[in-house]
Structure 1
Amino acid sequence: MRQMANCPFSCVVIVLVLLSCPALGEERKDKTLSPYFFVQEGDSSTDSFPLKETGVDARINGVIAEVFVSQKYVNQGSKPINARYIFPASTRATVHGMNMVVGERVVTARIKERETAKREFAKARQKGKSASLLEQQRPNVFNMNVANIMPGDEVRIELRYTELLVPSEGTYEFVYPTVVGPRYSNQPEAGAPETDLWVKSPYLKEGSPVPASFGIHVTVSTGIPLQELACPSHRVDVQWESKSMARVSLEEPKESSGNRDFILNYRLMGKEIQSGLMLYKGETENFFLLMVQPPERVQAKDIPPREFIFILDVSGSMHGFPLATAKTLIRDLIGGLRERDKFNVILFSGSSCVMSSSSVPATQTNIARAIQVIDSQQGGGGTELSPALTRGLSLPRDENTSRSVLIITDGFISAERDVFEIIRNNLNNTNVFSFGIGSSVNRFLIEGMAKAGLGEPFVVTRPEEARVTAERFRDYVQSPVLTQIRVGFKGFDAYDVEPPSVPDLFARRPLAIFGKWRGNAEGLIEVAGKRETEEYAKTFRVSEADPGEANSALGYLWARTRIARLSDFGDRGAVAETKKEVTSLGLAYSILTPYTSFVAVMDAVRNPGEQAKDVNQPLPLPLGVSNLAVGGACSKVPEPELGLLLALFILVSSFVWIYRRWSRTARRAA
């Protein structure tokens, strides 16, 4: 009788196990591509943290930053390893050089077509040669593979990249990202494209020490006296060489500083910005960069009523500090609306909900109602931005009212291009403004949404920045700085100009116009536009610019600007043509692109016998991001946890009811 009584409980346990686990011996077919938590194996012979140190030396001269990055890999185990490391970079970085250093041997990497480089690396790894492969997975996400790191080896990978610094409202910002945040994905792992597989990366749990040390040194040389220099992200030591030159380094290099963006802001005396024409005369091609200082903003006298759609991310990665910062920001944004304006709020995680079926007037009652809804959020679940964005763009609208969509998120998704496509296909006189929240946001998504939606991006790293950011936004939407912008050339043979057309300028940010030129450095460049009802025009004499060797980086920057237009934020339509042109640019200018990679191979066979073990370097969670940002495999249905728990609850309740009836029947029979 006791064995029979235990039978229902055994059934319950078995069914629960079957429901909550993948089928034994095989993975679930609908398992999604997801980040996961690192679990230390018991094998002490394998070094699970081969990356020991990242060092950065950045030199800012005028508006161009030259950045040198050194990654040190050390194998402290007793077995050979193949290391893989996912790391970030600026979305504007032009990577144009790589070396691999093993002991005293230096191998210069070559740029190759992506598949060619991958095959060359795989062949070297199989033969036991030390090799390295650098690939671009996103404009701001790179993948480093280092093969056959022998026990006791120290391998250094040296990268070089160039970046243009464009100030906004008179402030220059240099950003060096240090960690890739975990990306939410709902696509099945089986059949996922190779460029998305990096999403399945191991992460350390919240509060874990950062395994690799991080150090950075920045030299700022502007030629014009500096009025202000500050680092809001880290504690730094500043050594002043002169009024226009400073050296910046971390005050405490040993602290856990590699878990957030390094941000350095500076302003020139009198809030000036460096503008004008730069020329470079090369052996086969000549390049120019025109930086045009925008006019002062003219405040509109009669600002028409506007509609604002706020789309707020309340997913798991926003739990805690990021969501608290977002709440502060959105309260300031909504609180600054006029009663003539209308607004709506959409909250999204694995699904989305909208405050009202159509936008409501910005009365104090409606604002209080919206803030109450927002304040009740805690953060949890997936990050289904695309459906929420589609929902926001399809809300009923008044054709006589200008609409702006404001997206507030950390950007931790992998389907960035899906979002860009939705925005481009639904513009309809809608501007999109994006607000990145957190210490290490996905700037590719944040900048790309604003670019696709003809708006402006903002990044808020701390709650105290929220009010100032909200004020900047209100200034932008009230009155653009310059509209109907046109660039013309007289007597100056310019071609391949980037961008081909210039969008309206909301921020007081200089226009950056790249291009090539032929013949003599002479003639005029004219820039014209409208400032409210006034005409604006400025002329530059080409002969007054010196085509010096110091401007040799202009070729890299021009190529990166064109690639960004074609590939980073470009339309998905002409994929074959885009791939061909981007590949050609990458090979011609020796720069990293989605279709070109750097590969370095040592000639000597260093591991003739033992098979090297593959090791994925675990990544720290960005500062302020909780464990809720990382989930295991799940089905394609967003946020399956709630449905599964309800099903289990119903199942268990049914079994308990059946068991009790069976027990009573059994006792009566006895």
Structure 2
Amino acid sequence: MLARMENPSHHFAPKNFNQKLSALYFAAALLLGFIAFGITVVAAPDRSADLDDPDVSLSPYFQVKGAEDGVDALPLKSTQVDAVLAGVIAGVRVVQTYQNEGATPLEARYIFPASTRAAVHGMTMTVGERRIEAQIKEKAEARKTYEKARREGKTASLLESHRSNVFEMNVANILPGDTVTVELRYNELITPEEGEYEWFFPTVVGPRYTRKATGPAREKQETLPLDPLAGSKRLGGEGLAYLGENEDGENEPVFTLTAEILAGTRVQKMKCVSHRIDTEATGGGVRVSLPPRAGIAMNRDFILRYRLAGGALATGLMVDSFKGENYFLLTVQPPARVEPAQMPARDYVFVMDVSGSMWGFPLEVSQRLLKEMLINLRDIDTFNVLLFSGSSRTLFETPVAATTENIAAAIALFESGRKYNDYGGGTELLPALKRAFELPRTRAGVSRNIVVITDGYVDLEAEAYALVHESLGDANLFAFGIGSSVNRELIERLARAGRTEPTVIENEKRAQNAAEKFRKMIESPVLTNVRVEFAGGSLSAPDVLSQRPIVMCGKWPDHIDPSTQTIRLGGQTGGGEWSTEISVADAVDLNSNGTLALLWARERLWELKDLHALRADAPKQKAAIIELGLKYNLLTPFTSFVAVDLTPRLSADAASQAKKVTQALPLPKGVSELAVGVTEEAVDSVPTSPEPETVALLIVAAMVAAVMWRKREQKMRRGAA
């Protein structure tokens, strides 16, 4: 309960105060539920995600087409992940094994997640004794090649990207008894923060709320391919289907993972916040592994965090060449954070997702995060809270001062709705963002900071990026992802458009740390107006708001000999201008034949996709993305991997008898079943309503104001000390 004192000896009320307070809470919450809120009450079980729960879960399944009803699925037998983490570069190999135990040939469709940072440069499909190496082609051509092979009874595979972190694999003409192995290879960058490295491997695709396809941005041919997974229904419907809470798969897969950290020094404070791991010291670092046993959870991201002895960071300059072109990877530790003597007043708008997918554990974490952030505000700051699902509502008509009473009212509003099941429905993020940007201001010249807290389960990444990019003005936007398997693409694109840094929070303990990180980012950015200059080019970089190294990939023009060049990095700190120069002569030559080229191409792809989202000459950006994918053998929205075994295994007649059978996937851990089957048509049950009544709200707010005042005073005294 919010009003519980941390030290019982300091109570200032009779012993039965808490009981009376509980009764008042209940009565006030009823008033808020029926008077202030216009949200339909949706009951749901408490499915909080406790990381100490047994690592038992259901695995993703293929969506299959069978020659007859009742055909066996292609259950996932095992997933094997091998990663090498060296400095800020990770090389990852994923091998997933499936088996057709049925009596009829299959065409399989498999949806699986990937890291948003992944530069996917290779894919191999093995069916029985046949090993098929995929080739990169323009998306339409690859699909045409695959469909032709399927009709001819040939085994073929097609890998497509629907968004940066969701891929689709199609495999045609898999015979009974076949074992299918899919191997995926990618590289990615790892950027440490506050001296801590984090590497994650996603294991599950979460459900996405979708709106109807409207407007020119969804009608023009040049737009990025729409996600076919959005608007998913339960078993038997369109898109992805998800297993119900009490449904079980016949066989639990084996999930094994090995990550070798090549550090050159001792690895310290290593922890996996998602799974139980085994560790083994090696000559150059440490090897982390998941025990090879069935039932290890694949319904949440694998998250590994670690530090190097003495706070060491892998900094410096690395160079590499690929097809006669020269690339570099620059990693520079920024200057120390400078605390300003005085901070100007700021205005905050907290945009909170209370949709169906946030029910339970995500809402609990969101409440903790909001509470910690509000307590950190100063009296000279102003704030407002906007809750959204199918509609949105604000706590105040205009921003109010961050007084103890107003902060208590905000926390009481959020807590009462969560406790009494007042939240649920769709995830109308775009209208909520528009409203947040349009909310009136009470003071001119005060910087506004919009804080978005969500699991990101929508299919509007490009639209959200464009909206934020075009609406910022003198505001910043901070994005916080909540949950065990967050849609990181949305969180990262919101932060990039908002000129800030993304944050993902998987439990309540991290919420407190994230709130403190947010305070530091706001009060004293490490480095702003970051610029990198080198012979023949320059790079822009987002502001460095936390203590993390600046990691940038670059490419020299063909006519430049980089061996005699320098790279200059500069920016603005709280204490003035800062700059440093790095000589290319001191760089480490990787001689990797393309690793840095792939990483540069992946960063370039993000730039082109952002321009595409802004409708900046879309045909030109599409052509540039295709050229990039074909040149660097890179999976993109407009290029795909396709592989064909030239030997027919079925007659054309047999291959044409395929029938779709939808197979269910597990929901991410902690995500309620309310997240499945929600489309725009279902939002009618969550109508737009007037703002909460002030009188009803104050009934709750008054009871917690004194406690909030006490907590803030304690925090201020600790800060002064």
Same topology, TM > 0.5: yes
Cα drift, residue 72 of structure 1: 1.5
Are residue 622 (structure 1) and residue 663 (structure 2) matched?
no
Aligned twin of 1:12: none
Aligned twin of 1:605: 648
| Higher CA-based Rg | 1
Q: In structure 1, the residue corresponding to 2:299 is in which secondary structure?
A: coil
Aligned twin of 1:310: 350
Aligned twin of 1:409: 454
Are residue 506 (structure 1) and residue 549 (structure 2) matched?
no
Cα drift, residue 286 of structure 1: 1.2
Distance 1:642 1:402 in 2: 33
Alignment of structure 1 residues 207-606 onto 2, 5 Å = 208-209=247-248, 212-242=253-283, 244-251=284-291, 253-378=293-418, 379-397=423-441, 398-489=443-534, 493-495=535-537, 500-517=539-556, 518-550=560-592, 552-567=594-609, 570-606=613-649
Q: Cα 1:217–1:234, aligned 2, differ >3 Å: closer, same or farther?
A: same
Distance 1:465 1:604 in 2: 54
Distance 2:674 2:382 in 1: 34
Alignment of structure 1 residues 37-116 onto 2, 5 Å = 45-116=70-141
Aligned twin of 1:659: none
Cα drift, residue 253 of structure 1: 3.5
Cα drift, residue 486 of structure 1: 2.7
Cα drift, residue 281 of structure 1: 2.8
- Structure 2 segments unaligned to the other structure (5+ residues): 1-62, 231-238, 688-721
* Structure 1 length-normalised TM: 0.85
Letter in 2 for 1:505: V
Of residues 225, 241, 249 in structure 2, which corresponds to 1:202?
241
Distance 1:176 1:207 in 2: 26
Q: In structure 2, the residue corresponding to 1:564 is in which secondary structure?
A: helix
* Range with bigger deviation, 619-628 or 544-553: 544-553
Aligned twin of 1:663: none
Cα drift, residue 194 of structure 1: 5.6
Distance 2:615 2:544 in 1: 25
* Range with bigger deviation, 106-115 or 47-56: 47-56
Q: In structure 1, the residue corresponding to 2:467 is in which secondary structure?
A: helix
Is the 2:67–2:104 contact (alpha carbons within 8 Å) kept by the matching residues of 1? no
* Range with bigger deviation, 458-467 or 191-200: 191-200
Is the 1:81–1:149 contact (alpha carbons within 8 Å) kept by the matching residues of 2? yes
Q: Cα 1:597–1:534, aligned 2, differ >3 Å: closer, same or farther?
A: same
Cα drift, residue 224 of structure 1: 3.0
Cα drift, residue 638 of structure 1: 5.5
Letter in 2 for 1:241: T
Distance 1:602 1:295 in 2: 55
Q: Cα 1:194–1:512, aligned 2, differ >3 Å: closer, same or farther?
A: closer
Q: In structure 2, the residue corresponding to 1:377 is in which secondary structure?
A: helix
Letter in 2 for 1:137: H
* Structure 2 length-normalised TM: 0.79
Distance 2:145 2:164 in 1: 23
Q: In structure 1, the residue corresponding to 2:337 is in which secondary structure?
A: coil
Cα drift, residue 135 of structure 1: 0.4
> Cα RMSD over matched residues?
2.3
Cα drift, residue 614 of structure 1: 3.2
Is the 2:64–2:74 contact (alpha carbons within 8 Å) kept by the matching residues of 1? no
Distance 1:466 1:614 in 2: 43
Cα drift, residue 484 of structure 1: 2.5
Cα drift, residue 212 of structure 1: 4.0
Letter in 2 for 1:70: V
Give the length in aligned residue pairs. Answer: 597
Cα drift, residue 565 of structure 1: 1.0
Alignment of structure 1 residues 136-175 onto 2, 5 Å = 136-175=161-200
Q: Cα 1:641–1:43, aligned 2, differ >3 Å: closer, same or farther?
A: farther
Q: Taking every aligned residue pair, what percent have the same amino acid on both sides?
A: 45
Is the 2:96–2:181 contact (alpha carbons within 8 Å) kept by the matching residues of 1? yes
Cα drift, residue 637 of structure 1: 4.7
Cα drift, residue 594 of structure 1: 0.4
Letter in 2 for 1:509: R
Is the 2:321–2:597 contact (alpha carbons within 8 Å) kept by the matching residues of 1? no
Q: How big is each residue's C-alpha offset from its partner over 1:120-145, in whole Å with a ceiling of 9 and x where there is no partner?
A: 11111111111111000001111111
Q: How big is each residue's C-alpha offset from its partner over 1:405-431, in whole Å with a ceiling of 9 and x where there is no partner?
A: 000000000112121111111111111
Cα drift, residue 345 of structure 1: 0.3
Is the 2:90–2:187 contact (alpha carbons within 8 Å) kept by the matching residues of 1? yes
Letter in 2 for 1:323: L
Letter in 1 for 2:513: V
Is the 2:465–2:610 contact (alpha carbons within 8 Å) kept by the matching residues of 1? no
- Structure 1 segments unaligned to the other structure (5+ residues): 1-37, 644-670
Cα drift, residue 602 of structure 1: 0.6
